Chains A and B, each alone.
Chain A
Amino acid sequence: MLDIRNLHVRAENKEILKGIDLRVNAGEVHAIMGPNGSGKSTLARALSGHPEYHVTGGEVLFEGRDLLEMDPDERAREGVFMAFQYPVEIAGVNNAYFLKAALNAKRKHHGEPELDAMEFMALIKSKSSLLDIDQSMLSRAVNEGFSGGEKKRNEIFQMALLEPKLAILDETDSGLDIDALKLVATGVNAMRGPDRAFIVVTHYQRLLDYIVPDYVHVLSGGRIVRSGGKELALELEKKGYGWIDASTGPGSSRAESTDATGAQPVGA
């Protein structure tokens, strides 16, 4: 589904990603972990087409098409979804109105009829209970005055509504208490399936207790320095990121040189 080859990304005049290779197949959940500043969020934002993240080398294929050629909105309509680390507050835009516009933009793109207000409300109702989205969250302005937990739930709710092929969760767990974390995880797990892939960017192993990944990759210094199964996350939790840096040295190793945990080989 997603094939990242030797991706280099600059942001704020600094090279952040220095050659990322990663292949994600339909049905898989990949966790991207790493210390602060390792480039985790840069990877997520570059994949979503954020204008401040400039791809300076490499390529990204999404279902065989050049993802980097697409505008951010086209990526979204084609089925790439990013749950924001910091969801943006949009004053004056009603959340339900926004969700309907987003959903219909996608439906139109795929030649499907747009949903009218009645159909949309029915859909909302069927999707909202899982994430404990109440009426007030729908009738307020997008993310405005939402608590941290409400914002993240709203992101996952959007994902549930838009049913992307590839969902990228950018530190969705940061700042969540355990109850909110469980809600978010339940929402994500309900959407796991053979046709959908997830990239879960997180600093902490905790989220992965609830969203169990198929693969874990560790980013350091803008490169994937280690890949493995879900055990890798536990090992990281125990030993800390210092262990990665000590065992590989920053930038000393490529993801190809991975372990014996049976993870798929990554990279080209």
Chain B
Amino acid sequence: MTQVAEKLQPWLSVTEGRPHTGPRWLQDLRDRAAARFSALGFPTVRDEEWRFTNVAPIASAEFKPAGADATLATEAELSGYLYSDAAIRIVIVNGHLAPGLSRTTGLPAGVRVGSLAAAVTDHTEIVQRYLGQLADFGTRAFTALNTALATDGAYVYIPDGVVLEQPIHLLFVTTASAASGPIMSSARALIVAGERSQARIVETYVGPQGTSYFTNAVTEVVAGEGSVLDHYKVQQESVQAFHVGSMHVHAARAANFSSHSFSLGGKLVRNDAAALLDGEGAECTLNGLYLADGDRLVDNHTAIDHAKAHCPSHEIYKGILGGRAHAIFNGKIIVRQDAQKTDAKQTNRALLLSDDATINTKPQLEIFADDVKCTHGAAIGQLDDDAIFYLRARGLTYFEARDMLIHAFAGDILDRVKIEPLRVALEAELYAQLARDLAELDAA
């Protein structure tokens, strides 16, 4: 038996213990996912998609699936992540809905924001149509693992033509009692937006600071014809935690989907964001801002698949790295043969605050149509000395000048957040982290 296979053995026991309840189609889905995971095993650095991200620390850690104990999280512990009292929110603790922490009153008729497990029974047709359909696990071990193990999660359904004024907040918490040892949670979300519907959705991933755990998250988003979805992912896990999350979006004709990813926590983080523009005039924005210091690793993989004509896509990813942090950005843009008049723009920039921080960045354009516009640009570097001097020549100290430039760098993405309490909270968290990083740099 190879070393890799040995490592997999405890994980296979975990998937053996997957839930065997629910309707036949769901059990089939889990069975296929478990079989796929077993066949794939964890990716290694020989896998092109994981070239710079070694997941051995996850594979060898023997995390136990977390229990469905909603009492493990309290409102007080979560207060820093709730952003606004007004928002509709559901809290998912260790993959299971915690009704006591959730607020879903006042939703317009037909709108569902709640437990995915419940929707399996009473919204069966829609859940069966979409669950596991966008998040293809054929080549993705973590997605297969999540699909095999997830028993509950978040379900959002917005009927045709409904415009939701209030943002919907999905808060995913991974937490355990001290006695339970290292745990993993399989966080799952299914978001279905009907034709011409409109909503803003925030996904936040957190856990107790200083604890080590593994969050394996999968989100599927169905953006119906002409829908407008404004999505945010906030990854604020413990800096000792592992986070592997993927989002899979299907955008129909004239849908407008935008997502902003803020990756602030975690020791080893992988975010995948994939959007399929599958109808003419669908528009997609994938932006991101990530921060890492110490010896943390953050890997962002994005993929925008232009399958139909006249689809614009916009993408800006920015990172700020200190210490010996390592970041990876891989931005794939596919333009299919039929996708004429595609207009795709990708930018990725990283600011290295220390000499030991590194980034591997790769734009990956696969273009099969001839009448398209695709641009990409990458800029990696330290702070601009000319800009520092200019600010100093106007009376700002070196530190003031530096902070102003770093804040401006991040502000470019932060300012695009259209939910004010969220923007304020993100800004505060980001700047507090930066202040700590910079104080460390100054002390060195």
Residues of chain A whose beta carbon lies under 8 Å from any beta carbon of chain B:
48-51, 71-73, 75-77, 81-82, 84, 87-88, 90-93, 98, 101-102, 105-106, 109, 141, 158, 162
B411 touches A92 (CB 8 A): yes
* Other-chain residue from B385, B396, B405, B411 in contact with A73 (beta carbon distance below 8 A): B396
- Chain B residues within 8 Å of A84, by CB: 390, 393
- Chain A residues within 8 Å of B393, by CB: 48-49, 72-73, 75-76, 81-82, 84
Could you tell me the distance between the alpha carbons of A64 and B259 in the complex, rounded to whole angstroms?
Answer: 58
A75 smallest CB distance to B (angstroms): 8
A88 touches B387 (CB 8 A): yes
Q: Do A72 and B412 contact each other (CB < 8 Å), given the known contacts A88-B386, A90-B387, A101-B400?
A: no
Could you tell me the distance between the alpha carbons of A48 and B384 in the complex, rounded to whole angstroms?
Answer: 18
B389 touches A98 (CB 8 A): no
- Chain B residues within 8 Å of A105, by CB: 394-397, 400
B26 smallest CB distance to A (angstroms): 47
* Other-chain residue from A50, A92, A106 in contact with B395 (beta carbon distance below 8 A): A106
A151 smallest CB distance to B (angstroms): 11
B390 touches A87 (CB 8 A): yes
- Chain A residues within 8 Å of B63, by CB: none
A9 smallest CB distance to B (angstroms): 16
* Other-chain residue from A49, A75, A91, A109 in contact with B408 (beta carbon distance below 8 A): A91
A91 touches B400 (CB 8 A): no
Could you tell me the distance between the alpha carbons of A158 and B396 in the complex, rounded to whole angstroms?
Answer: 14
Could you tell me the distance between the alpha carbons of A92 and B405 in the complex, rounded to whole angstroms?
Answer: 8
Q: Do A98 and B391 contact each other (CB < 8 Å), given the known contacts A93-B404, A93-B405, A93-B408?
A: yes
Could you tell me the distance between the alpha carbons of A73 and B398 in the complex, rounded to whole angstroms?
Answer: 8
Say whether B409 faces chain A, with CB atoms less than 8 Å apart.
Answer: yes
B396 touches A92 (CB 8 A): no
Interface string of B322-345 (1 = CB under 8 A from A): 000000000000000000000000
- Chain A residues within 8 Å of B412, by CB: 91-92
B390 touches A90 (CB 8 A): yes
B389 touches A50 (CB 8 A): yes
- Chain A residues within 8 Å of B389, by CB: 50-51, 72, 88
Interface string of B115-129 (1 = CB under 8 A from A): 000000000000000
B176 smallest CB distance to A (angstroms): 41
A109 touches B395 (CB 8 A): yes
A90 touches B395 (CB 8 A): no
Say whether B140 faces chain A, with CB atoms less than 8 Å apart.
Answer: no
A50 smallest CB distance to B (angstroms): 6
Which residues from 414 to 438 on chain B have a C-beta closer than 8 Å to any C-beta of chain A?
Answer: none
Could you tell me the distance between the alpha carbons of A90 and B383 in the complex, rounded to whole angstroms?
Answer: 11
Could you tell me the distance between the alpha carbons of A77 and B387 in the complex, rounded to whole angstroms?
Answer: 18
Could you tell me the distance between the alpha carbons of A72 and B386 in the complex, rounded to whole angstroms?
Answer: 13
B405 touches A76 (CB 8 A): no
Q: Which chain A residue lies CB-closest to B349?
A: A91
B384 smallest CB distance to A (angstroms): 8
Given contacts A76-B392, A76-B394, 18 further A-B contacts (CB under 8 A): A48-B393, A49-B393, A51-B385, A71-B397, A73-B392, A73-B395, A73-B398, A76-B395, A84-B393, A88-B389, A90-B387, A90-B405, A90-B408, A91-B409, A93-B405, A101-B396, A101-B404, A102-B396
Could you tell me the distance between the alpha carbons of A92 and B389 in the complex, rounded to whole angstroms?
Answer: 16
A102 touches B408 (CB 8 A): no
B416 smallest CB distance to A (angstroms): 12
B404 touches A73 (CB 8 A): no
**Residue of A73, A91, A101, A106 contacting most chain B CB atoms (<10 Å):** A73
Could you tell me the distance between the alpha carbons of A73 and B399 in the complex, rounded to whole angstroms?
Answer: 11
- Chain A residues within 8 Å of B384, by CB: 88
Could you tell me the distance between the alpha carbons of A93 and B409 in the complex, rounded to whole angstroms?
Answer: 9
Could you tell me the distance between the alpha carbons of A60 and B409 in the complex, rounded to whole angstroms?
Answer: 37
B430 smallest CB distance to A (angstroms): 14
- Chain B residues within 8 Å of A87, by CB: 390
A223 smallest CB distance to B (angstroms): 26
B390 smallest CB distance to A (angstroms): 4
